[in-house]
Chain A
Amino acid sequence: MLAADVVVIGAGPAGLSAALAARRSGASVLVLDEYPEPGGQFYKQLSSGFQVSARSRLDPDYTKGDALVGAVRAAGVELSHETLVWASFDANELAIVRRAESGTARAKCIVVATGAYERTIPFKGWDIPGVMTPGAAQTLVKHQRVVAGSRIVLAGSGPFLLPVAKSLLGAGANIVAIAEATRPESWASHAFRMWGHWDRLREAWSYRRAIAAAGIGLRFGERVVEARGRDALERVVLQACDAHGDIRTDAPAREIEADTLCVAYGFVPSVQVARALGCELTYDALRGGWIPRHDVLMQTSREHVFVAGEAAGIGGAYAAMAEGTLAGLSAARKLGLAVRASELDAAARERVHRRRFGDLVNELFAVKPGYYRAIEDATLVCRCEEISAGTLRAAIAAWGWDVNCIKGVTRCGMGYCQGRICGSTVEHLAAQVAGHAPGDRDGFNMRPPIKPVTVSTLAQLDS
């Protein structure tokens, strides 16, 4: 059994910042993370199979997290890697699995910093091998130094496409096209809101320059309508879309030869752990959908549970770090430790500043209803149970838009991923068919385990 004053779930920018702030305030801190190395997706490290002779010569993508990870280790935070939190049966206890061993972690306070996963929106051919998310392609490069294919198309929407392009280019990838579904026309009107966010703008500019230097065509207002190929991806069909995300059928489609297509539409907060802890959720379309309701000091509806980073709503790594610090300080304060008001204030101000930019970016790349309207009836939405959009739309028309009822009658969301991939799509389809806004009704129920765990591991559970 593990135990600490503060248990942080997730070792990305938010979780590490929370751990550091809580530890520096005097709390004992334990960080639980599913991956073998700290950093999360943002500071993704090389696999431990690689020998690094001179760390300073690595791409800054690897070393930008070094200071934070180093500070966390130096401060005496305990890190537990390859540790899955799969349920919580008691307010102060997390059920964990570490390398197939079942166990528990007890905490006085908990910080949920579980990040986000990419928003996949189905389209014709999205299940052909060679189609993946940008994050998956970036992980292959950052973690394994493997470039996913020899002719890569990046598509979808969101600021994340640019750093992925840069990572892939840095590894020598051949990117043949980048298509961003939104258009930059509206950006100019928001220029004043970018004032002061110079570090973020410089970063964006560096990505843009890398792409331009590589001579890659970057098109706006264009979406993937189809992926073609017999056994693996051969061609990608792109077509212009309007401001609602609907395909402009008057525009000609362009076909590009490719063996890899990386496509996603931003991120969806990962809230399963927060739900398992009994935190109330609220729907925030701008920040990616369902998030744990929280106050300005990151406290959730459960007073010993705090949330930070993408799990509290999509806002980017810098908002995540600011929020992590704030959540760590709040947790320490909740424990009765001395936290300086000035420190808390500074963290709260930094959070507001970073969230402001995050919200601006969210607005520019907002998820459009047309992305979901465009899903053809024959396209599979639930890949695990092979349920098509048409089956779902018919079920919603017949049985109403309660997604848990739709799950029951169609089995959509009952497969291996437990609705993590299709859940958001089903909610959007249900809302569209029934003529409501997504989030007016609950999403899929959360049924432990949060991620699959073997029966033999669960059989080790003691009473």
Chain B
Amino acid sequence: MLMAVDVAIVGGGVIGCSVAHYLSATGARVAVVERTQIGRGASAANSGVISLATKKPGLALDLALVSQQMFPTLSAELGYDVEYLVDGGMIIAQSETQARFLDELVAAQRSDGAGIAMIDAAQAIALNPLLAGRVLSASHCPTDAQANPFRVTQGFARSAEKLGAAILHDTAVEAIDVSGGRVRSVHTSRGEIRTRWIVNAAGAHANEVGKMVGVEHDVVPRRGQLVILEATDDLPNIRVSSAGALLAKHQGSTQSINAAFAYTRKPLSGTVMLGGTNEFAGFDTATTKTGIGEICRLAVSAMPYLGQLHALRSWAGLRPYSPQGPQLGLTQGPAGYAVAIGHGGDGVALAPVTGRYVAEVIAADGKDADLKQYLAREKARLAANAGQRGVTA
């Protein structure tokens, strides 16, 4: 036997590391089992964007609302600068259909408590003077932010380790023992880990881990390609994306590569990140001619100035996509099996709330595990805090 723990977390991405951090803080003995290295999968290809404006009202938006509130204090909590920066974000409507979609989306988001507003074309161009072409209106969320995805992942991992968690990299999970309706141990390439709980945080590989305990998950890798441009001074820091792509995403489109215009400035380095695609191409992490071409075409048409900048690199990551969106905590399967899966491209943005919620569920030994109630409670608490500070969303 390699070791005995209270919780074995399968997957050392940003989600697994966050769960490890919050669980270790409760005093639980934790092991993170990672097949390769910490944060090498979707976490390394994450955009680092922490956005409310892009979220569907309901669970996705509520998770984002609670998680976003945890970011301002995260660096202090981890003792490590995660480079959290608030520059706001907007989503532009380039057609009547998109404008109507945005109007409805923003109305629903506002009623859920998100501080998002519709602005007109002139206001949008004032916020980002490089916008050209057809802009009818935009949604604007001043609290939309970004963090350094590598630093968020590594920060959670190292903090967990300091709190006593074991991080096992280059360690593959081969089987999970279940008996008497309860998980008992994880067999890894380095030996057996006895455990009371197993958290599936295996990202795009979540289904394989689910099968080991007889549970069918519906997580599939969704490829996202990104292009990074050279550093330049004096570009607007506000993030801009197009409503067209969001519309397709919210409708669950699986057509073609779903390339979308998204401009994100990285103020610390001065570089620009152009997104992105949403493709279902299995586990292939290659960038494609079509993907890079389409990303650049969309960028030049929305912000022509970007055409003269040099692209320095492109890459693709596999987002763990589930049509249901994120699934956290208890699910079907044996007792002691919990999940933190299906985060899509929001792994970094939702890591804090995911880690804290899953840790609370396990610390309470699976009692009182309703996510909706948890989020309602957290939102009420946040609203009360905001009220006390005299702040309104």
Question: Using a CB–CB distance below 8 Å, which chain A residues touch chain B?
Answer: 87, 89, 95, 384-385, 398-399, 402, 404-405, 408-409, 411, 414-416, 418, 445, 447-449, 452-456, 458-463
Contact = CB atoms under 8 A, between A and B. Distances in A.
Contact of A415 (B231, B306, B311): B231
A105 to B, nearest CB: 13
Given A415-B231, A452-B311, A458 B292 contact: yes
Interface stretch (B121-129, B179-187, B296-304): B296-304
B258 to A, nearest CB: 14
A454 B309 contact: yes
Contacts of A459: 293, 296-297, 299-300, 307
Contact of B307 (A95, A409, A449, A455): A455
B interface bracket (residues with beta carbon within 8 Å of A): 35 or more
Interface in B275-323: 286-290, 292-294, 296-297, 299-300, 306-315
Contacts of A452: 230, 310-312
Contact of B150 (A87, A408, A453, A458): A408
Contact of B309 (A409, A411, A449, A455): A455
Contacts of B290: 461, 463
A445 B36 CA distance: 15
A256 B323 CA distance: 69
Contacts of A449: 311-314
A458 B37 contact: no
B135 interface: no
Interface in B217-266: 227-231
Contacts of A453: 310-311
Contact of B37 (A87, A89, A402, A447): A402
B140 interface: no
Chain B interface secondary structure, helix, strand, loop or mixed? mixed
B388 to A, nearest CB: 36
Listed residue (B39, B308, B312) with the most chain A CB atoms within 10 angstroms of its CB: B312
Chain A interface secondary structure, helix, strand, loop or mixed? loop
Given A405-B39, A416-B312, A454 B307 contact: yes
A63 B279 CA distance: 53
Contacts of B137: none
Contacts of A416: 230-231, 310, 312
27 contacts: A89-B288, A402-B37, A405-B38, A405-B150, A408-B44, A408-B148, A409-B151, A414-B228, A416-B312, A445-B315, A447-B315, A448-B314, A449-B311, A449-B312, A452-B312, A453-B310, A454-B307, A455-B227, A455-B229, A455-B300, A455-B307, A455-B308, A455-B309, A458-B227, A460-B293, A461-B290, A461-B292
Contacts of B310: 416, 452-455
B36 to A, nearest CB: 10
Interface in B308-354: 308-315
Contacts of A448: 287, 292, 313-314
B1 to A, nearest CB: 26
A105 B228 CA distance: 25
Contacts of A409: 148, 150-151, 154
A445 B287 CA distance: 13
B379 interface: no
